[in-house]
Amino acid sequence: MNDEMKSQLEKYSEFLRMPSISAQHSHIRETAEFLSDLLDDNGIGSEIMETDGHPVVFGNYDAGKKKTLLVYNHYDVQPVDPVDEWKVDPFSAELRGDRIYARGSSDNKGTLMARIFGILKAIRENKLNVNLKFLYEGEEETGSPSLEKFEEKHREILKSDYVIMEGSTVGIEGRPVISLGVKGLVYAELRETIASSDMHSSNAAIVPNAAWNIVLALGRTI
């Protein structure tokens, strides 16, 4: 491991040790400031922008190119309960061999940091062929309740030619997958009433079943 990789690992580990659990409003501001400082320290102008919920970290790097790419990631993580099922402290960033263990090491802090380090390398080697904007939110794990309003309010500064989301996966052949779409969250409550009073189970073969009708409705929706 060379000095550059050691420095990157130290910075990544520092990031992982921040228990930025969005559902518990834990260490959110501290983590946003960490990312803002990281961008600033590497020549990428940044700003912590307020929302109705947790702050967004916005970064901008003008490379003098014709096209602009917006890079989206999130800095919040899921809760760690039940803690007693963890084999390591979830916020210790423990290194075992060539693997590092922590809550958020994959989703999404690992991807976020890998992109930053890769982009900085491209800038140093003069291989960057797009302008860059960065959008780091702190509520993805709770459904991004403030993001849509934030985007509507700041439509002009977020305007870009391309957007890449938080990450993807690797296929069975070992190659990264390029996803062409994503799904969101839907909250719904379904109710169905068949009869005005309780019925004996012997009628199940001849009377419509409210529970099964809801199951069928969900199947068609999905």
Q: Which domains does the chain have, with CATH numbers?
A: 3-164 (3.40.630.10), 186-222 (no CATH)
Tokens of 7: 């420095």
Q: Residue 183 has what pLDDT?
A: 78
Give the residue from 46, 70, 68 showing the smallest Cα distance to 57: 46
pTM, whole model, 2 decimals?
0.85
**pLDDT surpassing 90 at residue 88:** yes
CA distances from 28 to 21, 25, 208 (A): 7, 6, 50
Task: Encode pLDDT of 149-199 as tens digits.
Answer: 999 999 999 999 999 998 778 889 999 888 887 777 788 899 999 988 888
CA distances from 125 to 7, 12, 122, 128 (A): 19, 22, 5, 8
Reduce the DSSP state of residue 152 to 3 states and report it: helix
Tokens of 52: 């109705």
Highest mean pLDDT among 122-136, 166-180, 208-222: 122-136
Contact yes or no for 42/115 (Cβ under 8 A): no
Q: How many CB atoms lie within 10 A of CB 162?
A: 10
Percent of the chain whose predicted confidence (pLDDT) is above 70: 100
| Tokens 């940044």, residue located | 46
Residues sharing a CB contact under 8 Å with residue 199, sequence separation 6 or more, in sequence order:
207
Q: List for the chain the helix, strand, coil content (%; round to 5).
A: 35, 15, 45
Q: Residue 145 has what pLDDT?
A: 95
**pLDDT surpassing 80 at residue 222:** no
Q: Average pLDDT of 55-66?
A: 98
Q: Average pLDDT of 81-101?
A: 96
